[in-house]
Amino acid sequence: MKKLHIIFIILAVLLMAVPAATMPLFRNAVNTEKRELSELPAIIQEDGSFNQRFSVEMNTWIQEHIGFRNLMVTANSRLRTGLFSQGATDDIVVGKDGWLFYYESVDDYLHVPTITERNAANAAHTTAMFQAYAGSQGSRFLLAFLPNKNSVYGEYMPYYYVPRDTEGSRELFLKALDAEGVNYVDVKPALDAVDKQLYQKQDSHWTYEGALIGYRTILSASGLPFNYFAGLTFTEERNWPADLAVYLYGEGAEPDVQAYPNYIFTYGYSSRNTAVDSLTLETYHSGGNGSLVMYRDSFANTMQAYLAENFDKALFARALPYQADLIGRQQADLTVLQVTERSLGSYVFRAPQMPAPQTELEGEARPVSAARATLVREDAGLYTHLYGTVDETLLGDTYRVYLLLGDTASPQAYEAFPIYEKELLGAAETEDNGWSLYLPKELLADSPALTLCVESGGERYLCPLGE
């Protein structure tokens, strides 16, 4: 009996040692998590001093690089989802019948606003300014609002998530767009009207068939002629690397079903980059319907083929901030700004890069202390980006901000976006008291005095700006 105990202990020790002993074999293993894994820490830092966090960093490195790590991650996820219908990560919600959802979309599903009414109003006014700029370049403008997966297929969410009978971020934003007169289309009703699965069970996006519905809805709202792809059929294949499944199960994730269009696309690429998720992608198609600039996110990956086939030339841009000068360079007949429900926050907190519109201001304004506003400036290529905040006590439900250059008696006035640059300001919480604009560098070459003019609640305030 004693020998059996000894053998059992030896086997247990060997079993526990295998992952550590095989670490060199997994040095180049694929990381399926959406984050960078740590690097092997150094005992002595570059400045010659001892790394006092070596033990902590080494422990983290071992946890992230231990042998069979991906296999163990997959096994853990399978066990938890199979027994408890719960993901091994807080980022994924395990729904009914094997459906997976991003946790970041839960508040939208529950109608819990992640933005304020003033955030929504600010984003809508920013869109109206962007729309006016596109119009000045001879382009039609359309904002395409795409729903989250669980906004269309909420019946597959876990039973304990019960939506409230209130307005969420989606409703706040669309109502604000109406108030600003923005030309937009909400794609959700068109998806709801189709009695067919148009999103993938274990991916966060729609299928090619769902993308066709989105394409038709967007271009129908544009008022321009387009290829309807009438009678297009699809073939289903289980070979799609579903993003949510890969994130949850790692290398053990099974492919999801994708509906592929039975169509031979004939468009070509005029850009060096041809990957579907390139930051900038340009296409051409002889005999198409004019030109397009589309500011998009990953939801357009499966929609780009239809759009590229439809237009003589199309430019798809996914980099932030949005580069408005692409509209003029492309001589776009149509400008589409695609915003997905779950990424609304990214749009609310980032101003497009375009020259601030010059305007005329009339009427009196009350001077206030320089401490009532902040200013940050940074280089942005041909522009200088100026942004900051306004003291909350100066603001009502909505506000407008103008930057005055030179003497306040006869200044040059430029309208700023009422956007809080959350990432650039290093803020962790949602705020709605920001301003942001881009000016050509030559306007600031002589270092004119800068004054912020804030309009809100029927009042106007002048606040001198310092660095």
User: Does 299 lie in the same domain as 210?
Assistant: yes
User: Does 432 lie in the same domain as 283?
Assistant: no
Question: What is the pTM assigned to this prediction?
Answer: 0.82
Give the model confidence (pLDDT) of 385-411 as tens digits: 999 999 999 999 999 999 999 987 788
User: Does 374 lie in the same domain as 284?
Assistant: no
Domain boundary among 305, 321, 348: 348
Q: Tokens representing 155?
A: 């019946």
Whether 444 is in a domain gets the answer yes
Give the long-range contacts of residues 86-93, CB within 8 A, separation 24 or more.
87/248, 88/248, 89/247, 89/248, 91/247, 92/244, 92/247, 92/248, 93/157, 93/158, 93/161
The least confident of 29-43, 188-202, 212-226, 287-301 is 29-43
Q: What are phi and psi of 315, to 5 degrees?
A: -125, 125
Whether 268 is in a domain gets the answer yes
The least confident of 370-374, 381-385, 425-429 is 425-429
Q: 10 or 159, which is more confident?
A: 159
Give the model confidence (pLDDT) of 217-269 as tens digits: 999 999 999 999 999 999 999 999 999 999 999 888 999 999 999 999 999 99
CB 146 within 8 A of CB 339: yes
Whether 19 is in a domain gets the answer no
State how many domains the chain has. Answer: 2
Whether 33 is in a domain gets the answer no
User: Does 226 lie in the same domain as 148?
Assistant: yes
Q: Tokens representing 360?
A: 């005329």
Residue 84 pLDDT > 60: no
pLDDT at 38: 72
Residue 171 pLDDT > 90: yes
The least confident of 27-36, 170-179, 298-307, 325-334 is 27-36
Residue 203 pLDDT > 80: yes
User: Does 283 lie in the same domain as 245?
Assistant: yes
Q: How far apart are CA 154 and CA 12, in angstroms?
A: 46
Which pLDDT band, with edges at 50, 70 and 90, does 69 fall under? very low
pLDDT at 65: 58
pLDDT mean across residues, the chain: 88
Q: How far apart are CA 29 and CA 241, in angstroms?
A: 18
Q: What is the CATH number of the domain that holds 415?
A: 2.60.40.10
Whether 390 is in a domain gets the answer yes
User: Does 337 lie in the same domain as 280?
Assistant: yes
Per the structure, the complete domain to which residue 459 belongs is given by 358-464
User: Does 186 lie in the same domain as 234?
Assistant: yes
User: Does 368 lie in the same domain as 300?
Assistant: no
Q: How far apart are CA 47 and CA 230, in angstroms?
A: 67
Q: How far apart are CA 318 and CA 335, in angstroms?
A: 13
Averaged pLDDT for residues 303-321: 97
User: Which residues make Cβ contacts (< 8 Å) with residue 406, sequence separation at least 6?
Assistant: 412, 448, 449
User: Does 340 lie in the same domain as 363?
Assistant: no
User: Does 305 lie in the same domain as 427?
Assistant: no
Nearest to 311 by CA among 421, 219, 374: 219
Averaged pLDDT for residues 183-193: 98
Domain boundary among 348, 371, 396: 348
Q: How far apart are CA 149 and CA 142, in angstroms?
A: 22
Cα-atom radius of gyration of the chain, to the nearest Å? 27
Domain boundary among 348, 374, 403: 348
Which pLDDT band, with edges at 50, 70 and 90, does 82 fall under? very low
pLDDT at 74: 41
Averaged pLDDT for residues 52-63: 61
User: Does 419 lie in the same domain as 390?
Assistant: yes
User: Does 385 lie in the same domain as 265?
Assistant: no
Residue 58 pLDDT > 90: no
Whether 37 is in a domain gets the answer no
